Amino acid sequence: MCNPLLHIKCKAYCLLAKNKVINKLMNNANKSHSLMNILKPYLGVSSYLILLVLLSIGLTAMSAHSHNIDLNHIGDELEVVGFKDDRLLQSESKSTIKNSLNQSYTINFAANIPEDKKAKLYTWANHARKALRLVYGKLPVEDFVTIIKASKGGKGAVPWGEVNRYSPPEVTLVVNLDSSLEALKADWTIYHEFSHLLIPYDAGDARWFSEGLASYYQNITQARVGMFDEQTLWQKLYDGFERGNKQQNYAHQRLDYLSDHIGENRNYMRIYWSGALYWLKADIALRALAQKNAIPYSLDLALAKLQACCFDRYLSATEIAHKLDQLTESKIFTSLLSEFSASYAIPDYLTPLRSLGVEVINGQISINDQAIYNTQRRAIFIGLSKLSSKNAR
């Protein structure tokens, strides 16, 4: 079983939000009166880690979790060895609901969540769990815990989310309680955080790899659960790749280096969307292989196999790529890992999109049903669970 030391090793942050710039960050920092928030924009990862260690030895007055950080779907993932934020745990667990139909479905509500809001939040979290189940028919981690806390002024329905790789993993979501159920469902945050659970990642290297997977699947799971149609799915992915392409102020640095120094360069768009493209290209390559060999390969199925074999340990990005190659009898994941790690800009995304039948004119995508991988594009949208049983193994 899992090493308990490893389970408090990795802490994944996804800093959210809807605005982009530093002065916005400063406004939020001023609002929160949090030393951590004031310092955060200026801190590198190493400095941040030192502060987190300080937090762990008793400086609990700082508010590392009062996040209004505004960076337009930004995130970072930190390796925090031996650190666990006790305040987070103390502030919830007052109310736990377990679904009698699914004993593993646990939501811990923070103490300040009113009783009359819980049914809505429960329905929302259940909806996102259903979306995650649409990757390969079951949850990657059956007993993960969802912690819901009330936002204190963050923007949007879900201003903050994070994944803690404890045993079982915990996904914390900070919500604006006045948001409607529909607004909560339409916010991508929960789909992103849940998608992080699809790989047993230890955050020790290649953050782009993990954030890319979450960025790719947050859109796919939303589409599969009915939040938007196929055209919108591909538009969202294309728009993300475009944002990644526009971030070129560190074009002298390789993606692997850039990703390791995300706290300093803040090139979230290039890092996240290069990662998302990595997984899309792997998905296309697998589905192309399936077409050639009449074997139902796909990224969904590869991840299902990874879950079956290897979720009793944390793996590095390189280890995951090797394992996925082994499971798919290919070299797709390691060869793409080498290519993407050494990239100085987001790799070409128009060619793979075009192969799927996703054409772009003036920034708007249209679907070409005559493309070579037309069927594969549809399958990415529809997902395994709705395909015929012969395709599902």
Q: Nearest approach, Cβ of 14 to Zn ion (angstroms)? A: 4
Q: Nearest approach, Cβ of 98 to Zn ion (angstroms)? A: 27
* Sequence-ordered alpha helix ranges (H) in the chain: 4-7, 22-32, 35-39, 45-56, 86-90, 115-133, 181-186, 189-195, 207-224, 230-246, 255-260, 262-265, 268-293, 299-310, 317-328, 332-341, 350-356, 374-382
Query: What's the token pair of residue 308?
Result: 């079956």
321 binds Zn ion (CB under 5 A): no
Q: Nearest approach, Cβ of 149 to Zn ion (angstroms)? A: 18
The smaller minimum CB distance to Zn ion, of residues 13 and 373, is found at 13
74 binds Zn ion (CB under 5 A): no
Query: What's the token pair of residue 209?
Result: 């790899």
- Please select the residue that binds Zn ion; options are 10, 135, 198, 214, rule is CB under 5 A: 214
14 binds Zn ion (CB under 5 A): yes
Residue 106: phi and psi, rounded to 5, are -120, 125
CB closest to Zn ion, residue no: 14
Find out whether 233 and 219 touch, Cβ atoms under 8 Å. yes
356 binds Zn ion (CB under 5 A): no
The smaller minimum CB distance to Zn ion, of residues 14 and 69, is found at 14
Q: Which stretch binds Zn ion (CB under 5 A): 56-64, 67-75, 201-209, 225-233?
A: 67-75
Sheet strand arrangement including 145-150: 76-79, 10-15, 160-164, 170-175, 145-150, 102-109, 95-99
Q: Nearest approach, Cβ of 357 to Zn ion (angstroms)? A: 29
The smaller minimum CB distance to Zn ion, of residues 14 and 299, is found at 14
Preceding peptide of 114 cis, ω within 30°: no
The smaller minimum CB distance to Zn ion, of residues 149 and 192, is found at 192
The smaller minimum CB distance to Zn ion, of residues 173 and 214, is found at 214
The smaller minimum CB distance to Zn ion, of residues 214 and 276, is found at 214
75 binds Zn ion (CB under 5 A): yes
Q: What is the DSSP string of 213-232?
A: HHHHHHHHHHHHTTSS-HHH
Site size for Zn ion (CB under 5 A): 4
Residues binding Zn ion (CB under 5 A): 14, 75, 211, 214
